[in-house]
Amino acid sequence: MSLIHSLRRSNFRTFVVVLCTCYLLLVLTFQADLDEASNGPIHPRNIQHHKGNEPQPQNEVPGYKARTTSSHIVFHREGMPVQTEIPSNDRRRLHLHPGSDISCSGYPGGKQYQFVEVHPETYVYSAYWDQRSNDFDNLHNMTIIRLMAVLKLRDPRPDLSCHFQKLDDSTVESPIAYYEMCENHGRLYGGFILSCVVPPDINIKPCGVRVSSPGNHGDVIRVRPLRPQSERHRFGICIPPLFGSVDPINMIEFIELNRLLGSQHFMFYDYQMPDSLVPILLYYQRQGIVSVLPWQLPGNVDKNMWYHGQLVSIQDCLYHSMPQVEFLTFNDIDEYIVPHKHAHWGEMMGNMFDNSRCGFRFYSGVFPPVSAENGPSYLKNTMTLRSTGRSGQLSHIRTKCMVKPTLIFEKGIHHVSKPIYAHLTSELLPGNVSFIHHYRRCVRDFGMDCSGSETDDYLLRYSDRLLKSVNKAVNQNIH
């Protein structure tokens, strides 16, 4: 009997030893996988770089290291432990899909803020309910649906129609008219504003409109109204499709400096936005300062359209912002409209807008960026305060605009293409009043002379407030 007990004890000890050995091997294997994921190289996506920013490794921040896992991007200061992880599904949370109207909040159908192919090679992104009169297609106070669209320029334009549903569930058809945007630059695809008149017997604003062509039932596009909201921002900024390598700290500086200058809202379009910007924009989105819309062009369009559909995004932002922003500017993230006689935009504008003006244009001055390594350490997070050398010449070609969106039908990249009335003008302001601070390398094109330079430290007047706000945002978002 004692021999049997000894064998049983021996077998049990052997079982325990084998079990512990297996557990140890599993732990060592798992740890090796973690080390490989943490220390392995980061392979950035092969994407273009945003103009005005020197190419940077994707998802890298100066003075910070980044590592990736299957569902996270992690940022940490060099020599410090990792503290912040960014779930990949935050990008989906970042993309807003605002309802067309509070009365349409329960509307079950309709697509918006995606390129919907309503006919072969014809894509509609968004639709707006426009009740503004004008002197070219709405002389009689009609209501018109404006659709932001992309078409193949060389093909015959299809016979498109809008279909409106009546209260008795019958439908009314209205033909679509074409307006080609002014800066398609001869590419294969171009931007258009499509318009259809709302029939008189449609006396209730629809939540959606179906766009069709002969033999094609089409799709329903949700409609957003343009009437002003009761609570509006005075100033806002439209930023064209965001892509390439963008330093998260530069993005924080862009938002914080423009807030000091007067902007209360920022509209971004996510084309191939770096993952490193997602937590930054979510931080400002939660404060009601930032909105982001997806901008996923069809592959065949993207390769054959000017600058990733920049012009169409400008029109969409113009119309989208109309109900909620009184004055709107259109900037890249390396550009700032800086008043040189006033403290901020509100003071500068004053009563400058009268019945003859729909906007103002601003000269552009080039400020070559100074890297953090070549500036004072306390300015490491504020490129605009470090970079005080400016081109001696101000460009009258690379202008940017501040407009009253309700007075604009089409906005160009550097000018107002079409106001709603022909007599409305956009005046070029003198450089001593305000001009664009453009932080990029000076290039001799479009008549730009890069031979002369001068010191322009005007932005230092904002240094205390800018340093405080930027450093606070950096500390809360980059650990």
Q: What pLDDT digit, counting tens, does each position of 162-179 carry?
A: 999 888 888 999 999 999
State how beta strands 408-411 and 425-428 pair: unpaired
Segment 230-247 mean pLDDT: 91
Of the candidate ranges 43-57, 225-239, 326-340, the one whose mean pLDDT is the lowest: 43-57
* pLDDT computed for residue 443 by the predictor: 87
CA separation for the pair 128, 147 (Å, rounded): 6
287 confidence band (pLDDT: 50, 70, 90): very high
Q: Strand 416-419 vs strand 335-339: parallel, antiparallel, or unpaired?
A: unpaired
Q: pLDDT-based confidence at 210, cuts 50/70/90?
A: very high
**Rounded mean pLDDT, 214-238:** 90
What's the average model confidence in pLDDT over 300-315? 91
Pick the CATH number of 233-477 from 2.30.30, 1.10.405, 3.90.550, 3.30.70: 3.90.550
Q: How far apart are CA 302 and CA 356, in angstroms?
A: 38
Window from 53-57, 281-285, 362-366, 460-464 with minimum mean pLDDT: 53-57
Instruction: Give the C-alpha separation, 261 to 274, whole Å.
Output: 26
What per-residue confidence (pLDDT) applies to 43?
31
Does an H or E element contain 373, and which? none
The closest alpha carbon to 156, from 123, 184, 120, 126, belongs to: 120
Q: Domain residue spans in the chain?
A: 106-225, 233-477
Does the pLDDT value for residue 8 go beyond 80?
Answer: no
73-98 pLDDT, tens digit each: 333 333 333 333 444 577 888 886 55
For the chain, give the number of residues.
479
The reported pLDDT for the residue numbered 48 is: 35
Q: Could you give the CA distance from residue 33 to residue 225 in angstroms, rounded to a whole number?
A: 53
Residue that has been written with the tokens 């930054």 in this structure:
280
What pLDDT, on a 0 to 100 scale, did the predictor assign at position 345?
97
If one counts every other C-beta atom within 10 angstroms of the C-beta of residue 298, the result is 14
* 106-225 and 233-477 have identical folds: no
SS3 127: strand
pLDDT at position 264: 98
pLDDT at 228: 79
Instruction: State pLDDT tens for residues 32-85.
Output: 443 433 333 323 333 333 333 333 333 333 333 333 333 333 333 333 333 334
Mean pLDDT, residues 171-200:
94
Residue 398 exposed, middle or buried by CB count within 10 Å (0-12, 13-18, 19+)? buried
Whole-number percent of the chain with pLDDT over 90: 61
The CA-atom distances, in angstroms, between 147 and each of 8, 134, 139, 241, 414 are 82, 17, 19, 19, 22
Percent helix, strand, coil in the chain, to 5, is: 25, 30, 40
- In this predicted structure, what is the pLDDT of residue 69? 32
Alpha helices, H only, 123-247: none
Rg of the chain over CA atoms, in angstroms? 27
Q: How confident is the model at residue 299 (pLDDT cuts 50, 70, 90)?
A: confident
Structure confidence at residue 444 as a pLDDT band (50, 70, 90) = confident
* Tokens, residue 350: 């004053």
- Residues 201, 16: Cα–Cα separation, whole Å: 83
The H or E element that residue 347 is part of is helix 345-349
Please, what is the average pLDDT of the chain? 83
Torsions phi, psi for 212 (to 5 deg): -140, 170
* Confidence (pLDDT) at 106: 63
Q: What is the mean pLDDT of residues 403-420?
A: 97
Angle separating helix axes 463-477 and 278-285, nearest 10 degrees: 110
Residue 296 in contact with residue 308, Cβ under 8 Å? Answer: no
Split at pLDDT 50, 70, 90, the class of 17 is low
pLDDT number for residue 350 = 87
CATH number for the domain formed by residue range(s) 106-225 = 2.60.40
- Interval 278-296 mean pLDDT: 94
State residue 26's pLDDT score.
53
For residue 186, give both structure tokens. Answer: 């001869």
CB 380 within 8 A of CB 398: no
Distance between CA atoms of 108 and 99, rounded to whole angstroms?
11
